[in-house]
Structure 1
C-alpha cells in the first residue's frame, strides 16, 4: 500500500467521507484511513491505496476531492520536513532523476508571498534531480502542502507557522469541472426546489450510480438528480405529482419486485406549499380517461401528506423495490434544536450508511444514505438498527428497545413522533 495526501474542497464538509467511501466501492479499490483524521478545519486526509493508478480512478469521479499527492514526508515544521526529505532513500527519487520538474507550495488557512514561496523552494536544492526546471509543462510537480487550519473563519488569527506540512509528487486533479457543466444557470427550466449541480453530482456518487444503473427519483421535479445520474451512464426515470413539470398517470406502474439500483430524491418538506399525495377513494372508481373534455389534463384529487408519512412510505418502497445492495439516498429536513439521531427512519432490510448534515443554523437538511441488505444477509436486529452515523463514525444510540416497534413490512417506529413530523410548523415558527 502507498501513502497519499488527499486534498478536499473545503465545502460540504460532512459529505466528504461518504463520497470517498462510495467511490472506493464503485472502483473496487481497497482504501485505508482513519475517519477522525479528517478535520472540519482542514482539507487534508492521509490515505493508503494500492497504487497511483487507484488514486487517479478516485479523482476521476470525485466532486469533493480536489487533488492528491503521493506522501513522501510529513512534519510539524518546515525545517523538520527538510530533514525527512534528506533522509529519503534514493529509490524515491530514481524515477524522476532526469525528468522535467517544478515545485509548488500550496498553503491552506494562511498566505505566503511569492518571495517566501521561492525561498522555501530553494531550500530543496539538495535534491539530486538532473532534469530541467519546466514551469509550463513539467513531467512531475513536487508539492509542499502547508496546513494552518481554517482558523480565520472561526475568528481566530492565522498562526505564524503551519500545524503540519506534507511533501511529495503531485498525482492529479479531480473532475470538479462537472459542477460548472451542470450549473443551474445553464438549465432551460428551473423550479423552486431544483437542486444545485454540486450536491446532485455528490448524491449520484454516494448512490453508486454507474453505467447501466436503473435510477428512480419519485419526487423528480425538474430532474436535477436524473441529469447527473445520466451523466454517469444510468438509465433514469422520475415521477411527480406536479403536472406543471411532468405529465403522466397518477399511480406508479412498478411491479412488486426488486428493480432499482438506486433511488435518489429530495422529498417534499411542505415548506413552500403543503405536501400532497393522490387521494385513493375506494367508493369512487378510477376515471378511464386522464383528459378533460377540452383535451387538457385532469388534475387528480389530492390530500395532505405529512413529512413523516412521506418518509415512511419512501423507506418501505425502497425496501421492496431496490435490488439487493441498491442504495436509497434522500434529504431529511430537521430543526436543529429538535433533531435526534432516532428521528432517522429505519427499516430491517435497509442498513444506514451515512448521515451528512448541511446546516443552515436554525434548521438543517441531512443526506441519508441507506443500502438494501444482500440476499444472504439476515434482517437487522434492534441493536443494528439503532446505530448513530455521522461524519463516517458509527456509535450505538442510547435507547430502550421497548420503545421500538417494527411492523410486518419491517418498518421501524418509536413510541414518540419524530421531530420532522412537525417540520413545516417548526420551520415557520423559527
Structure 2
C-alpha cells in the first residue's frame, strides 16, 4: 500500500540526510515521490518504506505518517485539521500527546506551544480521546519548516542512538582518523548496499564502514595496504559480532576481488592517515581506474575525499559519472566531500 510519510532529519549537513533516505529505497527497488524541505523529507512510497528507513538510516530522527501539509499559518493549520479523519487514527479509549517541532527559526511568528495546546484540544473534542503527555498511546507530531507545516502520527524513532555506541573510542582498535559511525552508516547507504549483497571497502582502515555494512546484513569484504590496520579491523568486526566477512592485506590500486555489489570507502589523504608516499589525487585516480575494470555495470561507489581532490578529473577515462556530491565541514582547514559515482 502506498502511503505518505515524513521524516525528521538530522542537521549535520544540508543534503546528505535526504539523499540517504532515497538511496535506501533505491537499494530495495522501492518507487517513491519526494518533496525535500530543510531537515524534513516528505515521501510517497510503499508502506514498508518507513520501517526500512528507520532501521537503516543514520541521519533520520523520526518517521511519521503524514496527515496534512499546509501553509505555516496558525489559522490555516487549524482550518486544515477539519479535513483530517481522526477517527481513523485514534479511538476515544486511547490517549495521545501533541508535539510541534520548529526547524531552525522558520515561521517564528507561529507559537509551537500554542499549536500543541490548540491541536490537542481539537483532537479531544473531535474523538473524545484524553491527553497523556508522559506515556501516550498515540503521539501526534507536527513540524514547521520553510513556510510549511507538516502534521502526522509518529510511527517510530530511528536506530540513530545505537550508532553512538559504536564510536571509535568504544572499539578495541582505535585510530584518531576513524570516521564517526553516523557518517559511515550514511556512506554505506549511499552506496545502495543491500542485505545479503557483497559490500567492499578497499581502504578499510579500522573497519568502520565494514562494521556498518555487516550490521545491515551485507557480506563484507575489506582490504588495506597496512597490516596493522587489517589486524585492527578484524578485531573490531569480531568485537561487534559481525559475521560473513573477509579482510586481507592488499593495495587498492591492484584489487584482487572480482565480485562486489556496492562500494563505500574513505581513502587516506595525509595527516594521521598514511598514503604510503602516494599523493591522494594519484591514489584515488589509480584506484578508480582499477575499479572501473572490476565493478558491476549497475553498481554504485560512495567515495569520501577532501574537497581539494578533484574527482571530476580523477574519473576522466573511466565509465564513472558523479550523480551526487555532499559537502561536510570537518574543521576550519578541512571540508570532506562525499561523492556517489555510477557507471
TM exceeds 0.5? yes
| Offset from partner CA, 1:44-86 (integer Å, 9 cap, x none) | 23322243x3322222211112112223232221221011112
Does residue 216 in structure 1 map to residue 212 in structure 2? Answer: no
Q: Quote how far apart the aligned CAs of 1:23 are.
A: 0.6
Q: Quote how far apart the aligned CAs of 1:255 are.
A: 5.3
Q: Secondary structure at the match of 1:80?
A: helix
- Alignment counterpart, residue 102 of structure 1, candidates 82, 96, 100: 96
Q: Quote how far apart the aligned CAs of 1:354 are.
A: 1.3
Distance (Å, rounded) in 2 between the aligned partners of 1:260 and 1:59? 26
RMSD over aligned CA atoms reads 3.0
Q: Quote how far apart the aligned CAs of 1:104 are.
A: 1.8
Q: Which residue of 1 aligns with 2:260?
A: 260
Distance (Å, rounded) in 1 between the aligned partners of 2:257 and 2:169? 39
- Alignment counterpart, residue 358 of structure 1, candidates 320, 325, 328: 328
Q: Secondary structure at the match of 2:81?
A: helix
Q: Quote how far apart the aligned CAs of 1:193 are.
A: 1.8
Q: Which residue of 1 aligns with 2:4?
A: 3
In the superposition, relative to structure 1, how do residues 84 and 19 fare at CA in structure 2: closer, same or farther (>3 Å)?
same
Asked whether the equivalents of residues 250 and 256 of structure 2 are also in contact (C-alpha less than 8 Å), the reply is: no
Once the two structures are superposed, the pairs formed by residues 19-418 of structure 1 within 5 Å of their partners are: 19-34=20-35, 37-38=36-37, 42-51=38-47, 53-73=48-68, 74-86=70-82, 88=83, 90=85, 93-108=87-102, 109=104, 116=114, 119-125=117-123, 127-147=125-145, 163-246=147-230, 257=258, 259-272=259-272, 275-276=275-276, 304-335=277-308, 342-343=312-313, 345-346=315-316, 348-359=318-329, 360-372=331-343
Unmatched segments (≥5 aa) in structure 1: 150-162, 277-303, 373-430
TM-score by length of 1: 0.66
TM-score by length of 2: 0.81
Question: Mean alpha-carbon deviation: is it higher for 184-193 or for 116-125?
Answer: 116-125
Distance (Å, rounded) in 2 between the aligned partners of 1:217 and 1:118? 47
| Offset from partner CA, 1:159-210 (integer Å, 9 cap, x none) | xxxx432222222221112312312221112113211111111111112223
Q: Which residue of 2 aligns with 1:299?
A: none
Distance (Å, rounded) in 1 between the aligned partners of 2:250 and 2:58? 36
Distance (Å, rounded) in 2 between the aligned partners of 1:363 and 1:249? 29
Distance (Å, rounded) in 1 between the aligned partners of 2:316 and 2:92? 58
Q: Secondary structure at the match of 1:244?
A: helix
Distance (Å, rounded) in 1 between the aligned partners of 2:257 and 2:228? 28
Unmatched segments (≥5 aa) in structure 2: 232-247
